[in-house]
Amino acid sequence: MDPGSSAESLDPHGALDQFASRRRGGFANLRSAQELADTRIQAATADLAGLAPDDVSVVMFGSWARRELTDGSDNDWAILTPEGREHDDHVQQLALHCRSRFNDDGKAPGAQDVFGIPFAWTPLARYVGLDDDTNTNLTRRMLMLLESVALTGSVRDQCWRAILERYLEHGVKDHWPPRFLLNDTIRYWRTICVDFEGKHATGGEDDPKWVMRNAKLRTSRTMLFAGGLLPVLFCRLCEKDEIPGFLARQYAATPVDRVAWAFIQMGLIDEGLRCLGAYDEWISMLQDDKIRAAIGALRENTRDASPVFERVRSVGSRLQRGLLALLFESDLAPESRRFLVF
């Protein structure tokens, strides 16, 4: 362990709360979103109790897992199974129950069948890179690692450990970011960005979801990426044999806590307050049904004249400025230049 560091100081849980006392009103919107997520996770866990065997997990992703849930959030769920069990009658009955519970009010997972279905977990850790690692497999693996929570069963934890172990099998060094994990985290971010353009080309100018996808790319997706990237760069604090435990603690926390922790580590309190304050404002916008509706009504050729989208741009810019300061204007800058640019 880096001199002066301790296991407690390297645990990001509760880092946002350390900022809250320095900001008038704290981060009330993020806090209420977390409380809603915790309440609904508890209710869903109770509802599913006894319906799934221990080797099958119902897993939530997205806002549920990030603890950023609002009444308008999608319900991104999946059923994780051992290989060959995804088509069992019991699993299919469980899937029917989940569709009934989670797919109401237009909140079902997207139409690409990435989530909202049962799937075997083993390919997530087996196929990393090359042709068998499809967009779907990459997306499931990275979101399993970065933002997932199990409502039932133990197989999610088994899958999560297998994914992390796969990334740390080779090339891990003292005080050095694990390059395999680093590169795949960056690859996933670039895939999100490329797929955004691909969906734009398919949906055309009248795509009703394009503006919201653009808004989330500037905010929620950016925070997710930063929350995945920063723990890898901060492996500089660890000896080789400490890296698995360090990353496990980091990824067990929410992306917002990971980012808040990084600002604290670098002593960038004012920058952190501005960055996290912008993200709290974004959550407040998602909590407002009128603002959600206004964003949903915009199209590519109408967004530039919208005061609502101008506010989205402002929030995204403030978030980005804070993250760039963290990466390139702190003691983290040498790692950022060395490992992110080349």
pTM of the predicted model, to two decimals? 0.95
Give the ranges where the chain is alpha helix by DSSP (H).
15-20, 28-48, 62-66, 89-102, 122-126, 135-146, 155-167, 179-203, 210-218, 220-233, 243-252, 255-266, 269-287, 289-297, 307-328, 333-336
Say how far apart CA 305 and CA 341 lie, in whole Å: 35
State the average pLDDT over residues 315-340.
96
Pick from 80, 46, 48: nearest CA to 61: 80
In a domain, 10, yes or no: no
* Cβ contact 79:144 at 8 Å: no
Domain of residue 205: give its range: 15-341
> Is 291 within the bounds of a domain?
yes
The fraction of the chain above a pLDDT of 90, given in percent, is: 83
Q: How confident is the model at residue 3 (pLDDT cuts 50, 70, 90)?
A: very low
Give, as one character, the DSSP assignment of residue 69: -
In degrees, rounded to 5, the angle at the alpha carbon of residue 262 between the alpha carbons of residues 259 and 263 is 90
Residues of the chain above pLDDT 70, percent: 96
Confidence of residue 4 (pLDDT cuts 50, 70, 90): very low
The answer to whether position 311 is within a domain reads yes
pLDDT in tens, 235-259: 999 999 999 999 999 999 999 999 9
Q: What is the CA radius of gyration of the chain?
A: 20
Q: What is the token pair recorded at 266?
A: 């670098």
Residue 56 maps to a domain: yes
Region class of 50: left (phi > 0), else alpha (psi between -120 and 50), else beta: left
Number of domains in the chain: 1
Q: Domain for residue 324, yes or no?
A: yes
Give the mean model confidence (pLDDT) for residues 86-92.
92
- Domain membership of residue 337 (yes or no) is yes
Question: What whole-number distance in Å separates Cα of residue 293 and Cα of residue 283?
Answer: 15
Establish if 238 belongs to a structural domain.
yes
9 found inside a domain: no
pLDDT digits (tens, 9 = 90+) for 155-201: 999 999 999 999 999 989 999 999 999 999 999 999 999 999 988 88
